[in-house]
Structure 1
């Protein structure tokens, strides 16, 4: 697939740099290029539709939606960075169109913890949705007459994509819980890929109420206000040493993790 794409790209570049009088075989290659690109597009659409129906069937069987999406994507793309990106995109469209068929209880876990009510997180997302929807026609008309019709169309399409993301995120926050599964803590937060932490790698979990700045060794999961739970790892995971989460019921979460990981709870001074 990569070789075919590179050949098509080479033909496209050659069509600009080779003079017309010297294009002996290039005219035939240019015509074939479009046929090859159409075949590649058809193949990609077929792969996407196959993944789509696989996920739809899995969700209908009440399987864990995350596992359904990841397994369907990895079946075709393997365990790669591209697969992670495509899993995120697939999850976004799944929650945008099939959210009513997904429940928090559909996800694996012996205990689930929510976060959509903390500091009005879900209500804030709904506010952004209304603002974006209101902005689209006004911005489009302004850019169309003041700047460029083409530019207005591009900006509108990008804004519509962000609107789909916010709608999917709005639907996901109350359905994708943070869960304790066997010997792992699985942090699902909105649409983003899950973070799995072995319970035996948790050094400490405690309440938290302060602002947390961005840093390479810190992972933040929070929509509004300050995170209310701090997790310290014994061994860093992907350079992450501390994880801060905003949850609806932090005390219940801390107690459950302490009991599961046999930790002694500690409080901030």
Structure 2
């Protein structure tokens, strides 16, 4: 087991221990009469973030996990810490409204950018990815925020305006597809119908069995997930993996594009095995196992191997080998 999983295990053990602490009368909590918030506060704001930074080399990933784990513990404390023992926790609970406001603000910006992109760029013959990101680049620098927002923007565009996206406008001399591999597109359509059928039923059950507020929140999150699936479904048949004379451009569903310089490819080979999750691997595959393995000479964002699942692996392999031969000659 790698140390990168230690923060999650610590989170699980922390929550389990505090469930016992706040629900079971023992000598540690003076048999239910003293259940303070400060031990959980220390673990949420100091211990778990510190473990994240010590165990995860990628500091960006460590920060994201630390914030997510802190938010989960704050949510946990809101329900399990007795009200009379809450002093600081009340202020932490109020932060959820700030987070909600920030999320709504970001979504409004993304939707406004989508409208601007649709009106100005998508009717041209420019690369659709570049057309979509142009409004964002005007006021955002490259970084995690830009990457997240362009993914979000692409999701809304393919969900609402997929008919305006022309596959032939994507940059590339050759295009390769992946929607038919192991019936990935059919599986996605099945999930869409399943979610659309489940959302109203789940909403009614939660509304009467739990609370109207919980039903509304969970239904909104489910609808957002449905939008994501619809965007992914429509992108599968419109965003290709493309090959130019200098780059392999990996566009896969709604994923942000990955540009691989042909000179940086060490080897390309068929692949027929399951690929476990790893910090050194990028997997682009919706269903089944990837059928192409690309080894890189120099890692891209720490990834030394790229695995692809495509409809015609032999065609992509032959084209990549020919293109690599031309660059070396």
TM bucket (normalised to shorter chain) is 0.7 to 0.9
Alignment correspondent of 2:296: 233
Structure 1 residues 46 and 186 mapped into 2: Cα distance closer, same or farther (>3 Å)? closer
Structure 1 residues 117 and 95 mapped into 2: Cα distance closer, same or farther (>3 Å)? same
Alignment correspondent of 1:82: 145
The alignment status of 1:117 with 2:213, answered yes or no, reads no
Alignment correspondent of 2:115: 52
Number of residue-to-residue matches in the alignment: 224
* Unmatched runs of 5 consecutive residues or more in structure 2: 1-86, 88-100
Q: Distance in 1 between matches of 2:177 and 2:186?
A: 15
* Unmatched runs of 5 consecutive residues or more in structure 1: 1-16, 18-36, 264-269
Show CA shifts across 1:26-69 (max 9, x none).
Answer: xxxxxxxxxxx9xxx7x995785355323432110121110111
Alignment correspondent of 2:215: 152
Q: How does 1:213-232 map to 2 (within 5 A)?
A: 213-232=276-295
Structure 1 residues 51 and 153 mapped into 2: Cα distance closer, same or farther (>3 Å)? closer
Structure 1 SS opposite 2:138: helix
TM-score (norm 1): 0.79
Q: How does 1:27-106 map to 2 (within 5 A)?
A: 49=112, 52-106=115-169
Q: Please, which moves more after superposition, 132-141 or 76-85?
A: 76-85
Alignment correspondent of 1:205: 268
Given candidates 207, 210, 230, the residue that maps to 1:167 is 230
Structure 2 SS opposite 1:145: helix
How much does 1:80 deviate? 2.5
Q: Distance in 2 between matches of 1:220 and 1:50?
A: 29
Conservation of the 8 A alpha-carbon contact between 1:184 and 1:197: yes
Q: Distance in 2 between matches of 1:47 and 1:69?
A: 10
Structure 1 SS opposite 2:286: coil
Alignment correspondent of 2:90: none
Using CA pairs under 8 Å that are at least 6 residues apart, name the structure with larger relative contact order, 1 or 2.
Answer: 1
How much does 1:106 deviate? 1.6
How much does 1:71 deviate? 2.1
The alignment status of 1:256 with 2:319, answered yes or no, reads yes
TM-score (norm 2): 0.65
Task: Identify the structure with the greater strand proportion.
Answer: 1
Conservation of the 8 A alpha-carbon contact between 1:51 and 1:73: no
Structure 1 residues 50 and 121 mapped into 2: Cα distance closer, same or farther (>3 Å)? closer
**Alpha carbon RMSD of aligned pairs, Å?**
2.0
Structure 1 residues 213 and 53 mapped into 2: Cα distance closer, same or farther (>3 Å)? same
Structure 1 residues 141 and 53 mapped into 2: Cα distance closer, same or farther (>3 Å)? same
Structure 1 residues 209 and 169 mapped into 2: Cα distance closer, same or farther (>3 Å)? same
Show CA shifts across 1:188-229 (max 9, x none).
Answer: 000010111000000000111111111110110001111000
Q: Distance in 2 between matches of 1:97 and 1:56?
A: 14
Kindly report structure 1 stretches of 4+ aligned residues shifted beyond 6 Å.
none
Given candidates 167, 170, 175, the residue that maps to 1:107 is 170
